[in-house]
Chain A
Amino acid sequence: MSVKIGIISFAHMHAYSYADVLQHLPAAELVGVSDDDAERGRRVAGELGIAYYDSDEALLDNVQAVVVTTENARHTEQVLQAADAGVAVLCEKPIATTVADAEEMIDACQEAGVQLMTSFSCRFAPAFIEANNMIVAGELGPILAIQGTNRSRNPGGWFTDKQLAGGGSVMDHTVHIADLMRVVTGDEAASVYCEMDTVYQPELPVEDSGVVTVEFSQGCIGSIDCSWSRPPHYPIWGDATLCIIGESGNLWLDLFLEHLDYYHNPDDSYNWTSYAESPNYVLMEQFTDCVQSGAPVPITGQDGLKALEITLAAYESAQSAQPVSLPA
């Protein structure tokens, strides 16, 4: 029996990739979508050949699990509904835009006995899996420093709406690298410092550039470039890179590097066309397996919250121009 899954909202572009994966995953059955933008919902449902539900409640009545890909600040609303309906949730990152929201989501899912997984897909990139296995096996010795980047083009739309997104590039791009840092160190951040600004499009109401410095409780240091610094015609949407310095060795990861150079005459374009396997496939496979078996999900709501805490500390630091300590 495959797991019946729905998608709530195509506000986040990752929903398209999740839908594609779900339609190829034998263990899953993508049964339908709901979307508060009915026109978008109907169009996508039509393209995917699945049902459109005109309310989230109606969708939740027909599935065992949902993917929540609404705008960041609205995740809470849908996750609480799903918990109420006893439906397992895969929530897009960042899990929420405030600690209170994230905690409410985690508590509600726990009380309802439904699984809540945070969509940190970078954990499933093959190069990261290999690197982390080496680190866990002790091949690099203790991890001393991690320098990471998650840079992209400005995604536009609601991503630059402070109410819906909770911030700009720092909200969008700190959590993936922060999460990988937590995985690699097995530790939590103790202090956070951040410089951020609005530069590339000065009229934006949110920041579009930033660099976050983190120190973990056991002493590992790190920085995260979370800027929307890729120009509109950059040959790829962006990157996720890590440089990891260990006592016994170093390693570099460039998770979206695999590509063919593609020069295309009709539109005078140059792009990178990826040949990498999608980490979203493994992410979704693990999620559906957990839903089916009832096993704990590999990336929890708590993981989403810890990465969010680093992000929110970055905003606090940028306000005060001082490092911010996180409680142990």
Chain B
Amino acid sequence: MLNVAVIGTGTLGKSHVANFAQIDGCQVRRVYDVVAEAAQECSEQVGAEVASDAKECYADDIDVVVVTTPTSYHAEYCVQAAQAGKHIFCEKPMTRTVEQGEEIMAAVAEAGVTMTVGHVVRLFPEYAQATKMIKSGELGKIGMVRMTRINTMPRGSHSWFQDFEASGGVFLDMSIHDVDWLLWTFGKPERIYMKGLWEHMPKLDYALCTLRFPDGTIAHVEGSWADLGLFRTNFEITGSEGLLAHDSTANVTLTVQKRATEGTGAAEVQVPASPAYKSPYLMEDELFIEALQTGGPPPVSVSEALEAVKVALAGLQSAQTGEVVEYQ
């Protein structure tokens, strides 16, 4: 039985706690959050202990540490967890800086532990299907690839997402999903050019990034934290043999509306969804546990996660300097 400890019980932390709790062969033993009430509430759902210090999450009785804190704390916790010999699941983006990412990579290699990063989009069936079709060659030579990811400005504990120094804004925090998918599907880009509105945070952020790949593919990544509506994504891939497109708003299999109820304060709400037998978020946690059990490679490696951070930061560098970034 693998004992899991979770550091950071915000939205994604809670989601991972619930997922690990239902996977055979592991249990959530301990949770920690700087906001004690958040950790308490989260622990009750799965019968976990509440740690009073993050260090208790690397105690001898723990095998796996899940790091779901704000990005700028990932390096500190991941390095400590690795040094304590724990396997690590870290949320994306792996780090705020390249140096932090390299520190984690070194610590993980030295400790010989297994680590993965939550680049979950690869597991979304629409993205996985697109990659499969591109790699099979059935779309021919790929030309334009357009990736869009749109959300409202997230808050998070102490509004950390809205602090550019902490989160890196929409491109590092959210568009990195599309960046990882592009790297996974097309390899490393050769140059990157970007314009962004990070200076408008905390009100909004927006990014328009062009990536050129060695095979000629031109990718356009649009990331928005300027939206006022529901989260949505879309992509369009065009090649010499065809066009492949997906729009999350056009593929809703279930829509639920709820009337406002007097007295309870519940507002009128409409929630679109596309339920799956197994959510990609559960799948990524299962694949990680499976890798630990079998000794196989993690679903996403630390070096892949570092590459995604490097590319996203290269985009920000381009936006901040106005120059094209030649990617090594």
Contact = CB atoms under 8 A, between A and B. Distances in A.
Interface of A: 144-145, 147, 191, 193, 195-197, 199-202, 208-211, 213, 215, 221-223, 225, 227, 229-231, 234, 243, 245, 247, 249-250, 321-323
Contacts of A215: 195, 322
Main secondary structure of the interface of B (DSSP, over half): strand
A245 B143 contact: no
A213 B193 CA distance: 9
A199 B278 CA distance: 37
28 contacts: A144-B200, A145-B206, A147-B208, A197-B143, A197-B216, A197-B218, A199-B141, A199-B142, A199-B240, A200-B143, A202-B141, A210-B218, A213-B193, A213-B195, A213-B210, A215-B195, A221-B197, A221-B208, A222-B195, A225-B220, A229-B236, A229-B238, A231-B243, A234-B243, A245-B224, A245-B226, A250-B226, A323-B193
Nearest to B216: A197
Interface in B180-213: 191, 193, 195-197, 200, 203-204, 206, 208, 210, 212
Nearest to B226: A245
Contact of A225 (B144, B200, B228): B144
B322 A323 contact: yes
A31 B216 CA distance: 49
Nearest to A215: B195
B196 to A, nearest CB: 7
A193 B142 contact: no
A321 B206 contact: no
Given A193-B324, A209-B218, A323-B322, 4 more contacts: A195-B212, A245-B226, A247-B200, A249-B228
Nearest to A144: B197
A323 B236 CA distance: 25
Interface of B: 141-144, 146, 191, 193, 195-197, 200, 203-204, 206, 208, 210, 212, 216, 218, 220, 222, 224, 226-228, 236, 238-240, 242-243, 322-324
A209 B218 CA distance: 9
Nearest to B195: A221
A221 B196 contact: yes
Contacts of A243: 222
B216 A199 contact: yes
Lowest 5 CB-CB distances: which A-B pairs, in order?
Answer: A199-B143, A221-B195, A229-B238, A209-B143, A223-B208
B226 A223 contact: no
